[in-house]
Structure 1
Amino acid sequence: MSSTASLKDKAAKGLFWGGLSNSVQQLLGAVFGLITARILNAEDYGLIGMLAIFNGIVTILQESGFTSALANRQEIKHEDYNAVFWFSTLTSVVAYVVLFFCAPLIAFFYRKPDLIPLSRILFLGFVFGGMGVSLNAYLYKTLKAKERGISDIVAMIISGTLGVILALNGFAAIGLAIQTVTYVGVSVFFRFYYSSWRPTFHFNFSPLSEMFGFSSKLILTNFIFQVNNNMLSVIMGRFYNANQLGFYTQGQKWMGMANQVVNGMISYIAQPVFVEATDNKERQRYIFRKMVRFGAFFALPAMAGLALIAKEFIWIFLGEKWMPSIPYLQLLCIWGGGSYLCILYTSLLMAHGKSAAYLWGTVLTGVVQLLFIWSVYPLGTYCMVIGFVAVSCLSLLYWHKVAGQLILLSIWQVLKDIAPYLAITGTSVLIAWFVTLFTTDRYISFFVKFFLYVGSYLLIAKFLDSTILKESLSFIKNRRI
């Protein structure tokens, strides 16, 4: 088998297992999430949301950009993985100890004493997560998407079941924290099971210095990225209240779950595939454009469809108490439709070792978002979210400028690849919206919108002889897993 065919087969299998894993996870997450949301209230989710920024920052410190640094290496030795394992494990333990004693300060900032025991339980996930960095890097580098997928699915089943049991027994936010820690622990355990690499008690950190020039920029980049993503939660939690943050968190959660199906598929394989094709710019451009079309085919209709049925979905499945989440969900779906492009652009930058460009793009986006949000936060939480979404969408222009030039890709080529699926999505939305315009029964409206929208999209795509649709169906039919 030629290297081109081999890479194509690996990419196809990676996309399949990435898609299957993320689809099953999101389905399971939806089931467990619907049950717990019916039991718990907005304040419970708001308390967890207040701690999200600490989870994000510690995850960056323990990973330190080494997953991408290892993925970029053509040859990796045991010492490389081993050094990363012990560094990330020790960093995680230190971070947990520091935050354990800082818990009263966090509670004081938010004026929520309940955050002291809650944070000390939730942050236990750092210790397990640190142990899994090298294992995840190994499976990522070797394109073991199937094994990573199985690990995450089993972890979701076990942690989700436990979360529901705890919620039914009155554990509220504490139950959500235990569920999160369990997910991380089980996921790492199965990554260890599926990985043929094992850590050894040989403490040699010299390989880290070889990767630090690349990874150091990623540490700062990912730190700023996490601050950007969680600044809304911090500001809402500090200047508004836990209930308002809980409504935002719930909208963010459901958008993220739907969005992760596509983004997870792409992030599972993008950088390793780009790395294997770095010797051929034309081939890399072909792969990139193929992924743009693939992402547009799935992401645009998924996000537009979720926004279309948001009102009925929240009312039917979560209950009337969560109706204030609807505007947040619909606004975030706008960015969700294009966020996969950000993953593609940044993965391409990483494959070319352009961590500095990644850093400056993230800094620029973060500064503009922070300035905008701070300027409008007195006007209300909806204005803050609008600003966040607008700046995120505009940031794609920067990412295209710095990444597109690496493979001589014009913005018109990207728009040409996206336009057909955008047109099909828009047409399908109009059909479903118009047919249900005067429907007052929310159950009827939900099911008619859903099936009419999905049916219209697939029929139009088939009528227009969509290549992505044909290839997806063909691969599923003849998959070799």
Structure 2
Amino acid sequence: MLNLKQKTITGITWSFIDKSANLGVTFIIGIILARLLSPKEFGLVGMLTIFISISNSIVDSGFSQALIRKKSCTEDDFSTVFYFNFLVGLFMFALLATCAPLISRFFNEPLLIPLIRVLSITLIIDSLTIIQRTILTKNINFKLQTKISIIASVLSGGIAVVLAYKNFGVWSLVAQQIANRFFNSLFLWIWNKWRPLSVFSKKSFSELFNFGYKLLIAGIIRDIAQNIYYAIIGKYFSASDLGFYSQAERFNKLPSQDVSSVIQRVTYPVLAEIEDEVKLKLAYQKIIKSTVLITFMLMLGMAAVAEPLIITLIGEKWRKSVIMLQMLSFVGMMYPLHSINLNMLNIKGRSDLFLRLTIIKRLLIVPTIVIGLLWGINVMIAGMIFNSLVSYYLNSYWSGKLIRYPINEQIKDIIPYFLISLVNGTLIFFIGLILPFNYGIKLIIQSASGLFIAVSLLELIRPEVYLEFKKIVLSYFKTTKKKRP
């Protein structure tokens, strides 16, 4: 169990560094690009998000999760999936290129034809890196992935900024995505020594696909659900409105989905190793508490400073994104909890239940879209908040049944951290209301105050997870200090 704990801490540490470093790089680059480009140009790329996202799910086909879940993978397994991914990547590239005129007519934007034909090149590049990433993830080797991701983000971001300064407009955003995928793939192949064998095993394919195809269907449904709002706003509102929404969503994803991604990437292979049911529940419970402590603080804090954050960083022209970000922060609070609960279904081999839940939850989107078309984007986001709460109930109910961690017990564990975060966020918000300074100074004071209030509340209440995290941090600094000459 000690070895497992070390794996988890190491994995989360490097995965968090990966996400934080990439977050810092992409955030800074995103700010520069948002100041150089218009909301419409961001909206044009946003229109293509749903098509690229669904295509990537089809290219993966659930095989990466199936490989991570499998206890002992063979070289035949990896090679078989590699060739399958590559062939599907070529097919999806050709399909999107062919369908480009139809997509353009749907949004009534002629420029989308060349945009999607060029952007779909990323599908071929990604197909070549899936197995490389899967092997590193299965071995909980996030250190190498971190280095590669940071280098790729810096290089691709630099290319995008130069092109934006040269007035390439929306093409700078497309170039950024292609360059990022290319550099990631290049360095993964250089530094990860795995190479495919000249073999395609029908046995391996059948075994892995039997588990993976349900995740594929669930993944497609999930991608449609997560990105359908981009398509609806782009179709029935305007490219500029979609640009405002996409910027709010980008800020929202920084703490929510990145934390979710870190937790999911690390805990899935780690929890999959635990066979004792009691130990599994305890580990799962601790992950839930740790996640909400971080996520709730960040998201409610972001909602409180949304106005000075948006205006200071990307400018007055993005003001419409403020209210969207404040509302989306409440949706983002639930992302990591969704991921953790759904992870448990996969760990238990219940991809069938994963699929059924995905279908049920996505049906809830229909009324949300309808009210959005009738009353506007902000009302649609309010519907997304309601959907997120219902989805959490469904996810936690079924995952809880599998490990005897019922939803009422999970909510009991979550409530204290929610209340601490709510008090912190409320105080930050009211501090902003009474400050007479400009937005930049207000943002600095609110952020510093929020950190001070959060630590003070945690020191006062002293929850178990916080004390353990504090112990780990202090131990790390003591160890580092001893190593110095």
TM-score above 0.5, yes or no: yes
Please name the residue that 2:483 is paired with: none
Is 1:170 aligned to residue 167 of structure 2?
yes
Q: Contact 2:97 / 2:117 at 8 angstroms: preserved in 1?
A: yes
Closer/same/farther in 2, CA of residues 98 and 435 from structure 1, 3 Å limit: closer
- 1:264 offset after TM fit, Å? 2.4
Of residues 333, 355, 360, the one that matches 1:359 is 355
Stretch of structure 1 that moved more, 291-300 or 205-214: 205-214
Is 1:331 aligned to residue 327 of structure 2?
yes
Instruction: Tell me the amino acid that sits aligned with residue 310 of structure 1.
Output: A
Of residues 27, 32, 40, the one that matches 2:29 is 32
Please name the residue that 1:45 is paired with: 42
- 1:450 offset after TM fit, Å? 0.9
Is 1:252 aligned to residue 249 of structure 2?
yes
Q: Contact 2:256 / 2:295 at 8 angstroms: preserved in 1?
A: yes
Please name the residue that 1:321 is paired with: 317
Q: Contact 1:138 / 1:195 at 8 angstroms: preserved in 2?
A: no
Is 1:81 aligned to residue 92 of structure 2?
no
Write the mapping of 1:12-23 to structure 2, written as runs, cut at 5 A: 12-23=9-20
Is 1:463 aligned to residue 460 of structure 2?
yes
Q: Contact 2:76 / 2:197 at 8 angstroms: preserved in 1?
A: no
User: Which deviations, in whole Å up to 9, do the C-alpha atoms of 1:115-148 show, x marking residues without a partner?
Assistant: 1111111111101100111111111111112222
- 1:188 offset after TM fit, Å? 2.1
Take 1:477 and 1:265, find their aligned partners in 2: how far apart are those partners? Answer: 22
- 1:375 offset after TM fit, Å? 4.2
Of residues 173, 188, 191, the one that matches 2:188 is 191
- 1:431 offset after TM fit, Å? 2.4
Closer/same/farther in 2, CA of residues 194 and 287 from structure 1, 3 Å limit: farther
- 1:437 offset after TM fit, Å? 2.5
Of residues 215, 219, 222, the one that matches 1:218 is 215
Closer/same/farther in 2, CA of residues 436 and 375 from structure 1, 3 Å limit: closer
Take 2:450 and 2:328, find their aligned partners in 1: how far apart are those partners? Answer: 20
Please name the residue that 1:209 is paired with: 206
Of residues 338, 341, 345, the one that matches 2:337 is 341
Q: Contact 2:304 / 2:426 at 8 angstroms: preserved in 1?
A: no
Please name the residue that 1:383 is paired with: 379
The Cα RMSD (Å) is 1.6
Stretch of structure 1 that moved more, 10-19 or 434-443: 434-443
- 1:194 offset after TM fit, Å? 3.7
Is 1:397 aligned to residue 393 of structure 2?
yes
Q: Contact 1:155 / 1:183 at 8 angstroms: preserved in 2?
A: yes
Closer/same/farther in 2, CA of residues 318 and 376 from structure 1, 3 Å limit: closer
- 1:27 offset after TM fit, Å? 1.1
Please name the residue that 1:59 is paired with: 56
Closer/same/farther in 2, CA of residues 364 and 126 from structure 1, 3 Å limit: same
Take 1:337 and 1:241, find their aligned partners in 2: how far apart are those partners? Answer: 28
Instruction: Tell me the amino acid that sits aligned with residue 61 of structure 2.
Output: S
Secondary structure of 1:406's counterpart equals helix
Q: Contact 1:439 / 1:445 at 8 angstroms: preserved in 2?
A: yes
Is 1:98 aligned to residue 100 of structure 2?
no
User: Which deviations, in whole Å up to 9, do the C-alpha atoms of 1:248-300 show, x marking residues without a partner?
Assistant: 001001111222342122012121112101x2111111111111111011100
Instruction: Tell me the amino acid that sits aligned with residue 114 of structure 2.
Output: P
Please name the residue that 1:180 is paired with: 177
Take 1:375 and 1:252, find their aligned partners in 2: how far apart are those partners? Answer: 19
- 1:154 offset after TM fit, Å? 1.5
Q: Contact 2:371 / 2:379 at 8 angstroms: preserved in 1?
A: no
Please name the residue that 2:422 is paired with: 426
Write the mapping of 1:407-426 to structure 2, written as runs, cut at 5 A: 407-426=403-422
Please name the residue that 2:4 is paired with: 7
Q: Contact 2:45 / 2:170 at 8 angstroms: preserved in 1?
A: yes
Closer/same/farther in 2, CA of residues 385 and 430 from structure 1, 3 Å limit: closer
- 1:413 offset after TM fit, Å? 2.2
Take 2:367 and 2:468, find their aligned partners in 1: how far apart are those partners? Answer: 44
Instruction: Tell me the amino acid that sits aligned with residue 199 of structure 1.
Output: P
Q: Structure 1: state its 5+ residue gaps.
A: none
- 1:478 offset after TM fit, Å? 4.4
Q: Structure 2: state its 5+ residue gaps.
A: 481-485
Stretch of structure 1 that moved more, 205-214 or 440-449: 440-449
Sequence identity (%): 26
